[in-house]
């Protein structure tokens, strides 16, 4: 599924709304400040399109709220911003040493054939990759199983594509405007 033009539209509207909030503040003179404001409002706009239905959007909103909760509150006005901001996601805590020790014991007990070793290595590789994916997708550590992870990744990718498309077109248009 590719991002639709209506998604682009909605994202742009929300993003503009977020940027309006920054407009009155005179501190946005440095490039880095402006960049931070732009990126933050773009991220919150992208996440708010999902209206709290997906895990990654909630995690993204929470992260943004730690940076600038006023902005988030304004942008999410009417979409249960309080619950979204204040909620604490259940974190999956894994005591790595204990897990590793018990796994070592299990591995010693098992007698391994060639086939089993191959599949075990493949599984390890997949596990490592899924861990990497969890680190990349916002809120990935809170997704309890792989099916949910892949689902959220799907949605996240589509939203990211929307975001990138809109931003790129704005940048191109702005540059074209500057040149004239």
Partner 1 sequence: MMMTMMMNGGEATEAELFLNCDDMSVLERQRVQLNYHQYHHPGFEPTLPCFFPNSSKMNVGEVDSFLPSAGLDLPEIYGELHGDARISVSPGNITTESENSKKRKFGCVDTETKVCNEKKKMMMMMDREVAVEEEEEEEKSKVTEQSTRSIMKMKEQNSCSNDSSKVTKDSQRTDYIHVRARRGQATDSHSIAERARREKISERMKFLQDLVPGCEKITGKAGMLDEIINYVQSLQRQVEFLSMKLATVSPRVDFNIDDIFAKEVVSAPMMNLPNTVMPPHMMVNSGYPHDMVNSGYVHFNPMQQVVTSSDPLSCFNNGQSATMWDSDVQNLYSNLGV
Among positions 1-60, residues that touch partner 1 (CB under 8 A) are 1-2, 4-6, 8-9, 12-13, 16, 19-20, 22-23, 28, 31-32, 34-35, 37-39, 42-43, 50-55, 58
Quick one: CA dihedral 98, 100, 105, 106, positive or negative? positive
3-state secondary structure of 1: coil
The one among 77, 83, 99, 118 contacting partner 1 by CB under 8 A: 83
Under rule CB under 8 A, which residues in 113-132 are in contact with partner 1? 122, 125-126, 129-130, 132
Residue 71: closest CA among 31, 42, 28: 42
CA distance 140 to 62: 13
Q: Given the rule CB under 8 A, which of 61-69, 84-92, 99-107, 108-116 is the region that contacts partner 1?
A: 84-92
Note whether 174 binds partner 1 by CB under 8 A: yes
Kindly state the number of chain residues that form the binding site for partner 1, as judged by CB under 8 A. 78
Task: Centre a 10 Å sphere on the Cβ of residue 96 and count the other Cβ atoms it contains.
Answer: 7
Part in contact with partner 1 (CB under 8 A); list of ranges 70-78, 98-106, 110-118, 141-149: 141-149
Q: Which is nearer to partner 1, 88 or 97 (CB)?
A: 88
Given the complex with partner 1, which of 69 and 165 has the nearer CB atom?
Answer: 165
CB of 144 to partner 1, least distance (A): 5
- Our finding on whether 163 is near partner 1 (CB under 8 A) is yes
- Binding window for partner 1 (CB under 8 A); candidates: 63-71, 94-102, 111-119, 142-150: 142-150
Sign of CA pseudo-dihedral 110, 114, 120, 124: positive
Q: Can residue 171 be called a binding residue for partner 1 (CB under 8 A)?
A: yes
Q: Report how far residue 98's alpha carbon sits from residue 30's, in angstroms, rounded to the nearest whole number.
A: 48
Q: 53's torsion region: left (phi>0), alpha (psi -120 to 50) or beta?
A: alpha
Report the alpha-carbon distance of residue 8 to residue 168 in Å, rounded: 12
Cβ atoms within 10 Å of 115's Cβ, excluding its own: 8
């Amino acid at each position: 599924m590719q991002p639709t033009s209506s998604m682009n539209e909605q994202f742009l509207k929300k993003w503009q709304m977020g940027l309006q909030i920054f407009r009155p503040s005179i501190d946005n003179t440095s490039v880095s400040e402006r960049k931070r404001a732009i990126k933050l409002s773009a991220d919150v706009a992208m996440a708010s399109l999902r209206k709290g239905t997906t895990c990654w959007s909630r995690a993204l909103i929470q992260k943004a709220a730690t940076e600038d909760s006023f902005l988030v509150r304004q942008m999410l006005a009417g979409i249960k911003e309080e619950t979204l901001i204040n909620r604490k996601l259940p974190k999956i805590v894994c005591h790595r040493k204990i897990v590793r020790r018990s796994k070592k014991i299990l591995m010693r007990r098992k007698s391994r054939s060639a086939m089993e070793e191959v599949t075990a290595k493949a599984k390890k590789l997949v596990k490592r990759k899924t861990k990497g994916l969890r680190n990349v997708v916002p809120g990935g550590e809170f997704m309890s199983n792989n099916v949910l992870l892949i689902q959220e990744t799907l949605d996240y990718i589509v939203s990211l594509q929307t975001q990138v498309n809109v931003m790129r077109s704005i940048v191109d248009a702005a540059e074209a405007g500057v040149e004239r």
